Structure formats: C-alpha cells, structure tokens
C-alpha cells in the first residue's frame, strides 16, 4: 500500500526563497542539532543565481583557485578542517583541503536525504493519514507524516495537516449513518525495525531532538507542537498518543469514542483522510529547521518507493540506490536520514558535488534543496551566525552539529556574481563555538575574496 498519494494539481517550485530579517538571536542547543532561532516579523526576497549566470553581465568572473586557497589556508593554519570550494559553473576545484577524506557529516546528511527524496518521489506528492472502518470499529492508519498537527487550525509554513480536521470529517460520516459511539484502533505498521537510529544516543530522544521514529504521530511525536524555535519533549508512545488526540477531537464533534488497540487497517473501508504538505515543501522545511523527524520520514518514503522495508536499513539502501542512479554516491555512506548517527561518513567533495548538481538548472526539482538552505545571518539554523559579517545574506548553507563535530555545506554568491559550492567539515572538535566560527570565516572569505 503506497504511503504517498499524488495531488490533483502540481505545486510550482519557486526559485525565490523568502528569508527572515531583524530577529534577535535565540539560545542555541549544541548537541545534537536543532539550533533554531525565532522567526522575525519582516521578510525580504533574494535571487538564487544559476551557475553560469552572474549579476555582472558577460565579463569574466572566474576566480583564481590559487589566490582563494592561499586566503582560506590562512584561516585554518593548523589544518584542522577538511573541505572544498567548487566553481558552480565549471565544477573546477578552487580550494581543496583533503576533500576526499570521509568525516562525520552531522546534519549536512540532510542534503543527501533530501536529494534522494526529490529524485525518487514526486515533489508535489503528499503523505496521507487516513481512517478506515472495519466492522464496528475504526482504525487510524499512519502513513508516515510526523507533521500531522493536534491543532484545529494549524499555523506555520508549510501548513501541516490537522488531526482535528480528520476527526471532524470522520464524525460527520459516523453521524450520517447513525453511529454515535465507537472504538478507535490504530495502525503504525508501515514502518519496521528499530525506532532509534544506528549509534543514536538515548539522550537525543529525552532532550527532544528527535522522537522514536513511527509511521503514526502528531506534532512530531511531542507532548506539544514542536516549532522551529526549539525542541519539545517526546511522548512515551507516539501512535497511542496520536489516537488519543484523535479520540478527544471526535468527542468534541459529538461522537462517543474510546481508544482501542493496535490493529491493521488493511481491508477497511476508508472514512476520511488528510494530507501532509508536499514533499518539496517538507524538504524546504527540514533543511531550514534541521527537522530530524521529517527527514527520517522522507527517507522511509524513499524506501517504500524503491521496494525496500521502511526501516533504517531499508531507507539507507534505497537512498544509496537513488544516489547511484544520479552518479552522486561516491564518498557517501549513511546509516540514517537525519545525520544524528555518528557512524555516517561523507566526504566534503561528495557533498559539494551534490550541491552543485542540485543548484544546476537541468534538475529543477532538486533546486528545493538549495532554496531550503538557511541564509547566513537571517534564517533557520544560520539566523544567529554570520551576524555583522560580509557573509550575511550571501552564504546559504546547511549546518551540522554533534558532539565534537561541526560542518557547513552550501552555496556562496561571490561578490563578483559567481556562484560557488562548498563543504567544510571539522571532526574531533574540542571547542564547537570556535570551530563553527572558523567554518563561517572560511565561507565569508570565499564570498569576499579579491581573487
């Protein structure tokens, strides 16, 4: 049974990213990454420059690799950071610091998972949560949408599906056939295997960085809505909590309902359904917010699409198969989708090449990986970084943070208009703040170099 249904209309993928300005920096949690800052009240538009096109007409904007390498080398004299800078048009290697050496990527792994998701899945597809009737009972069937909201009228962008709306549609159908009381079972069987990823620390769950992975949950499996501004503790049992929320809403809509037992919805008659935001919208969200739950969900959707079990192992195999079909698997070995696993290994060159592919105009669906990247000094996990530097507004990148790990990978609009792609990675870090400062300095220098 497919977990993703195609919508009636295809959603246009915009190449303009709206990013936030003017917010004060929030408190940043370092390990693992959901280092997220408040959303500001004002917005501005910024063009994403396609490789090969510049803001300076037709003049030669090529950058000297030797001069760039000299400048960046001075910022990391002890050679603690591995990385690479590529020309966005020619893919020429402009700076190379052991770029073929694999390292723990942390949340830059989300670039890999998002690329696979937008390749394997229809970017306009949505994940369906439904209710079916089997005999005299209902079954709430999870399709793998962690963003399903407990609120009657959810807020935020992308706007999630509402379990209250699902309950109202169900209540209307029940009352129409004279049913006033019913038990509700729940089906989370779409996923299999462990609910925690390889190498994940138990504290990742207890501190709210991720919930145990489940095909049925509301509010990302948390005790309350889990916005970009921070983390919220998870519930003890995601599927059971989801059905309890659903039952509570049924009661509000005039149906006497009770929480049943785990069961299968297979063969049941559909009563109601709601759908998640599109895959492309979910990718933009997870890139901007570094949402671990959504990333693991999309990895499993890739597994289902490729005929693999919706498990960590199945998702890892499916993602790799998709990358191989793109010619982008070299230097990429991942065991989870979110990057929480310290067992993942990716090379800076592998990341930078993948970003270059996503930025290229010949694969427009993949541009969402780029538009979802936080903007330095303005949005998402970069809102509190690059402040007061020339890199603010011209660096767009995915961040990564774990214990002793700091990474940064994305695109740079050089001051002459040239587009660059880059990946910088630091492992074995003792001072994370210092390491992240160096990563930011490297990206800023690449953007402003007189090369």
Inter-residue contact 391 to 406 (CB < 8 Å): no
Domain harbouring 30, CATH code: 3.40.710.10
Q: Does the active-site annotation cover 356? A: no
Q: Is 56 helix (H, G, I), strand (E, B) or coil?
A: coil
Residue 1 belongs to some domain of the structure: no
Same domain for 249 and 319? no
Contacts of 287 (CB under 8 A, 6+ apart): 110, 111, 114, 369, 372, 373, 374, 380, 398
CA-wise closest residue to 152 among 141, 140, 168, 139:
168
Distance between CA atoms of residues 398 and 393, nearest Å: 14
| Length of the chain (residues) | 451
Same domain for 136 and 116? no
Q: Within a 13 Å sphere around the CA of 184, how many CA atoms are in the beta-carbon half?
A: 30
Distance between CA atoms of residues 340 and 343, nearest Å: 9
Distance between CA atoms of residues 63 and 94, nearest Å: 8
Same domain for 193 and 95? no
Q: Is 307 helix (H, G, I), strand (E, B) or coil?
A: coil
Q: Does the active-site annotation cover 107? A: yes
Instruction: Name the maximum alpha-carbon separation found in the chain.
Output: 78
From 278, 305, 328, the end of a domain falls on 278
Q: Which helix (H) or strand (E) holds 317?
A: helix 312-326
Same domain for 407 and 267? no
Predicted confidence at residue 229, as pLDDT, reads 56
Residue 257 belongs to some domain of the structure: yes
pLDDT tens figures, 264-287:
999 999 999 999 999 999 999 999
Predicted confidence at residue 362, as pLDDT, reads 65
Inter-residue contact 103 to 425 (CB < 8 Å): yes
Which residue among the candidates 107, 114, 311, 379 is catalytic per the annotation?
A: 107
Cβ burial 424-439 (10 Å sphere, 16+ → b, else e): bbbbebeebeebbebb
Predicted confidence at residue 231, as pLDDT, reads 76
Residue 248 belongs to some domain of the structure: yes
Inter-residue contact 142 to 443 (CB < 8 Å): no
428 vs 103, 313, 403, CA distance in Å? 10, 27, 9
Same domain for 300 and 424? yes
Same domain for 85 and 166? no
Distance between CA atoms of residues 251 and 167, nearest Å: 9
Q: Is the CA virtual torsion 372, 373, 379, 380 positive or negative?
A: positive
Strand partners, 274: 129
CA-wise closest residue to 112 among 327, 301, 409, 354:
354
Same domain for 178 and 67? no
Same domain for 142 and 100? no
Residue 86 belongs to some domain of the structure: yes
Distance between CA atoms of residues 330 and 99, nearest Å: 12
- Determine the number of helices (DSSP H) and then strands (DSSP E) in the chain: 11, 15
Predicted confidence at residue 33, as pLDDT, reads 52
Residue 222 belongs to some domain of the structure: yes
Domain harbouring 258, CATH code: 3.50.80.20
Distance between CA atoms of residues 290 and 355, nearest Å: 17
Same domain for 294 and 273? no
Q: Which two tokens stand for residue 187?
A: 């089906």
Predicted confidence at residue 157, as pLDDT, reads 78
- Based on the structure, what is the number of domains in the chain? 2
Q: Does the active-site annotation cover 437? A: no
Which residue among the candidates 99, 209, 276, 290 is catalytic per the annotation?
A: 290
Same domain for 163 and 40? no
108 vs 103, 264, 433, CA distance in Å? 11, 36, 17
Contacts of 203 (CB under 8 A, 6+ apart): none
Pairing of strands 345-346, 419-427: unpaired
Strand partners, 128: 275
- Domain hosting 93: range is 14-121+283-448
From 259, 278, 297, the end of a domain falls on 278
16 vs 21, 47, 119, 211, 263, CA distance in Å? 16, 6, 21, 32, 44
Residue 6 belongs to some domain of the structure: no
Residue 204 belongs to some domain of the structure: yes
From 226, 253, 278, the end of a domain falls on 278
Same domain for 116 and 202? no
> pLDDT tens per residue, the chain (451 residues)?
445 543 333 222 222 333 332 332 332 333 455 433 333 322 232 344 444 444 444 556 788 999 999 999 999 999 999 999 999 888 999 999 999 999 999 999 999 999 999 999 999 999 999 999 998 999 999 999 999 999 998 887 789 999 999 999 999 999 999 998 999 999 999 999 999 999 999 999 999 999 999 999 999 999 998 777 567 999 999 999 999 999 999 999 999 999 999 999 999 999 999 999 999 999 999 999 999 999 999 999 999 999 999 999 999 999 999 999 999 999 999 999 999 999 999 999 999 999 999 988 667 789 999 999 999 999 999 999 999 999 999 999 999 999 999 999 999 999 888 999 999 999 999 999 999 999 999 999 999 999 8
Residue 9 belongs to some domain of the structure: no
Q: Which helix (H) or strand (E) holds 126?
A: strand 126-134
Inter-residue contact 377 to 385 (CB < 8 Å): yes
Which residue among the candidates 37, 99, 110, 162 is catalytic per the annotation?
A: 110
Strands, DSSP E only, in 32-116? 42-47, 82-87, 93-97
pTM (2 d.p.): 0.88
Same domain for 114 and 21? yes
């Amino acid at each position: 049974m497919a977990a993703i249904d195609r919508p009636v209309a295809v959603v246009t993928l915009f190449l303009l990213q709206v990013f936030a300005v003017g917010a004060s920096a929030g408190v940043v949690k370092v390990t693992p990454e959901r280092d997220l800052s408040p959303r500001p009240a004002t917005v501005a538009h910024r063009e994403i420059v396609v490789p090969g096109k510049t803001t300076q007409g037709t003049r030669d904007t090529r950058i000297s690799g030797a001069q760039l390498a000299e400048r960046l080398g001075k910022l990391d004299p002890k050679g603690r950071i591995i990385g690479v800078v590529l020309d966005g048009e020619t893919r020429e290697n402009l700076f190379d610091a052991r770029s073929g050496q694999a390292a723990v990527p942390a949340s830059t792994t989300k670039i890999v998972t998002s690329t696979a998701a937008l390749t394997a899945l229809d970017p306009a597809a949505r994940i369906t949560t439904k209710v079916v009737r089997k005999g005299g009972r209902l079954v709430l069937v999870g399709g793998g949408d962690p963003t399903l909201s407990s609120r009657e009228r959810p807020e935020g962008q992308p706007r999630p599906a509402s379990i209250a709306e699902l309950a109202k549609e169900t209540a209307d159908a029940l009352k129409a056939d004279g049913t006033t009381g019913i038990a509700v079972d729940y089906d989370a069987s779409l996923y299999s295997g462990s609910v925690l990823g390889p190498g994940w620390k138990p504290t990742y769950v207890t501190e709210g960085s991720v919930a145990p992975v489940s095909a049925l949950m509301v509010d990302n499996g948390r005790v309350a809505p889990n916005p970009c501004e921070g983390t919220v503790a998870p519930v003890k049992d995601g599927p059971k909590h989801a059905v309890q929320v659903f039952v509570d809403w049924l009661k509000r809509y005039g149906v006497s309902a009770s929480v049943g037992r785990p069961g299968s919805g297979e063969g049941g008659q559909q009563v109601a359904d709601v759908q998640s935001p599109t895959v492309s919208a979910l990718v933009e969200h997870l890139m901007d917010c570094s949402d671990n739950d959504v990333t693991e969900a999309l990895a499993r959707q890739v597994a289902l699409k490729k005929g693999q079990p919706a498990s960590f192992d199945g998702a890892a195999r499916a993602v790799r198969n998709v990358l191989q079909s793109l010619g982008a698997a070299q230097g990429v070995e991942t065991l989870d989708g979110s990057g929480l696993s310290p067992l993942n290994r990716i090379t800076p060159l592998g990341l930078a090449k993948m970003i270059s592919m996503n930025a290229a105009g010949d694969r427009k669906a993949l541009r969402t990986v780029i538009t979802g990247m936080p903007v330095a000094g303005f949005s998402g996990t970069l809102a509190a970084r690059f402040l007061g530097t020339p890199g603010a507004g011209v660096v767009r990148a995915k961040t990564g943070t774990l214990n002793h790990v700091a990474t940064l990978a994305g695109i740079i609009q050089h001051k002459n208009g040239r587009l660059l792609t880059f990946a910088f990675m630091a492992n074995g870090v003792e001072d994370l703040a210092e390491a992240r400062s160096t990563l930011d300095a490297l990206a800023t220098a690449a953007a402003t170099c007189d090369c």
